[in-house]
Amino acid sequence: MQQNNIFNLTKPIVLVGMMGSGKTLIGRLLSKKISLPFVDLDQEVEKIEKRTIKKIFEEKNEGFFRKVEEKTLLKFLDSRPKIIATGGGTFISARIRKIILKRSISIWLKVETKSLVERIKYSKKRPLLNNVDTKEKIEELVKNRYPFYKQAEIVIDSNSTPKNIVKKICQKISIMGSDNEKILQEKFLY
């Protein structure tokens, strides 16, 4: 039987990182593992706007998307603990980054550029990759965004299996002060 909020968290866990870093997949797996609700910020924005992010970029613009994204994120940061997967550009905003760092446990899922390119080269739903060389664009985004991502509270090497990534996250969270070390060893370290 899973226990609720095994780490006695009082604030959300926010996953940040590049598109293709696994934020949604890892967020879902982590959510199940530690019995917290999962929120995919991009999906929430799509629900609110009743269209895909790609369509929002095409029909409005990135600035409009970022405003809706920020408002949506703030709604989820002001409630009970949960796992939140952000969009790739969310943590780049100084205002949003400051709020995330203050109100949550931020975790950067760091992935090598080569792996990112392999993971997303055929994706049709990434608006920043429309009509560009995927490898060049990813390299540019990595160069521009990694200095921001590295400000996250926890950095996780995401060049591993999803199961191992979730295990690493659980270990890092437990080190942050959980009273549940014995439960962690019995339940999470597989």
Judge contact between 29 and 162, C-beta under 8 A: yes
In a domain, residue 8? The reply is no
Residue 121's pLDDT band, with cuts at 50, 70 and 90, is: low
What pTM, to 2 d.p., does this model score? 0.84
Supply the Cα-derived Rg of the chain in whole angstroms. 16
Mean pLDDT to the nearest integer, 161-179: 84
**pLDDT digit string, tens, across residues 51-93:** 998 889 889 988 899 999 999 999 999 778 999 999 999 999 9
pLDDT digits (tens, 9 = 90+) for 40-56: 999 999 999 999 988 89
Backbone angles phi, psi at 79, to 5 degrees: -125, -165
Domain count, the chain: 1
**1 is a domain residue:** no
In a domain? residue 6: no
CA distance 137 to 142: 9
CATH number of the domain encompassing residue 103? 3.40.50.300
The answer to whether residue 125 sits within a structural domain is: yes
Domain membership of residue 3 (yes or no) is no
Lowest mean pLDDT among 5-19, 62-76, 123-137, 143-157: 123-137
| Structural domain containing residue 36 | 13-187
In a domain, 63, yes or no: yes
